Amino acid sequence: MTTQQIPIIEASFDGILQHLAAGDLPALTRDLAPFSATELVPLFERLDLRQRAVLFRLLSKQRAMELFEALPPSLQGDLLAGLQNTEVSRLFTELDPDDRLWLLDEVPSVLATQMLRGLPEQDRLQTAELLGYPQGSVGRRMTPEYVSTRASLTVAETLERVRAHLADAETVYTIPVLDGTRVVVGIISLRELLAASPDDFVADLMQSAHTAVATESDEFAARRCADLSLLALPIVDSEERLVGMLTIDDAIRIIEHVENEDAARQGGSEPLRRPYLSTPVRTLVRSRVVWLLVLAVGATLTVQVLEIFEATIEQVTVLALFVPLLIGTGGNTGNQAATTVTRALALGDVRPRDILRVLAREFRTGALLGLLLGSLGFGIAWVFYSVQIGMVIGLTLLAVCTVAAVVGGCMPLLARTVRVDPAVFSNPFISTFVDATGLLVYFGIASAVLGL
């Protein structure tokens, strides 16, 4: 969508709402006419369920199908709840098999069962086969609608295969090459076929193929597809036989979905899985309240530490002034390390077995950061208070930054080892842990330096 089109849709939004409230269907039809299906997606994201259903019924069948395919799966599920059974069946049948799985993950089980029953037998069997793969596996995101060829076939014969499946194949630009047992032995692109002589054999043109096993993580397979700049990645079973293809658009969709989840959890909330303006307030509350309760309980550790050192604070009240600085610095250092390592895990740059190397790197990084910040803190505290207070602040910043970096760097790796989302283990828990340990270190150093 161009930048010029966005203000036009925004300007039409108020008018569409007014016509919806008045029930003026002819005016609504005129309002929607200038926009393509994809241009209407931002509008539908801002409407409630009833309003979406009304506007959807005003579109032609072709535009309605195009819009439905462009909507996020969560909004697709909401929209189906407001449509009649015949409309639901038609929309669900016309989706690609892998897109049906995205939608089934979003709708209630009763509606999912109803939609599956309404599918033609062949489509129902295809969808059921994809549903048989584990949740979160690439098998649930691949498409079984593809074109394959054999190494013994000619370019002309392969192109004839492509033409025969143009109407039903989701991708024809990357063509896997199979042997007699459907094992992937290579890959060839449509571009290479078009550039070759019709009598050339596929065996002489094909390249080695990158594949992914259907039961492996959809995130890992999607990142591999994106990193290798592939238009499609062949998906195989445990015996290397082809079962589907992961297309680049689905790979990007998976990566965006995972990164949105990680961003939400690193901020201490659950992912919304739908546009913000179309998310009910109760869902917003539910996505945040659990983490707030966890953090509130964890914050009691900080209170307990402060209570233990209450007598120390009474003797040197200036120590209390630096508590927010030290807690904030430690938490930020830990969060930076956790975010960096979580990202490296997602990209495959590090694995849980690299924990000792990560520990060593974060120890050095934290120590250098602590040395820089500690030197600055020492100078400021010395000027405004005393050299002893400066030593306490400087040494504490050195220790806190080092501990926070090590903990923040190792926590995502430990989370991956126990099969927990690293984003869940990162920022909220690290902040709580570093706050409590940082205060222990702070008052311990203060007691030693000041002789308290």
Higher pLDDT, 284 or 72: 72
Give per-residue pLDDT as tens, 173-182. 999 999 988 9
Distance, in Å, from the CA atom of 346 to the CA atom of 209, rounded to the nearest integer, reads: 23
Instruction: Report in angstroms the alpha-carbon separations of 9 from 12, 19, 43, 61, 188.
Output: 5, 15, 7, 22, 43
Mean pLDDT of the 428-447 span: 81
State the average pLDDT over residues 345-367.
87
pLDDT in tens, 377-399: 899 889 888 888 899 899 999 99
Q: What pLDDT was estimated at residue 426?
A: 60
Residue among 116, 78, 83 at smallest CA distance from 100 = 116
Top mean-pLDDT range of 105-109, 219-223, 265-269, 447-451: 219-223
Q: Is the model's pTM score more than 0.85? A: no
| Nearest Cα residue to 39 out of 4, 15, 79, 88 | 4
Instruction: Give residue 2's pLDDT band: very low, low, confident or very high (50, 70, 90).
Output: very low
Report residue 85's pLDDT band, with 50, 70 and 90 as the boundaries: low
| Confidence label for 330 from pLDDT (cuts 50, 70 and 90) | confident
- Please give the pLDDT value at position 424: 64
Angstrom distance (rounded) from CA 97 to CA 127:
6
Give yes or no for residue 4 having a pLDDT over 50: no
Share of the chain above pLDDT 70, in %: 85
Cα–Cα distances in angstroms (integers) from residue 149 to residues 139, 154, 159, 209, 430, in the given order:
21, 9, 9, 13, 52
**What's the distance, CA 167 to chain centroid?**
31
Give whole-number Cα distances, 286 to 259, 271, 283, 293, in Å: 20, 10, 5, 11
Binning pLDDT at 50, 70 and 90, where does residue 131 land? Answer: confident
Average pLDDT for residues 138-144, to the nearest whole number? 92
Mean pLDDT value across residues 148-164 = 93
Helix (H, G, I), strand (E, B) or coil at 156: helix
Residues 171-227: pLDDT tens digits?
A: 899 999 999 889 999 999 999 999 999 999 999 999 999 999 999 999 889 999 988
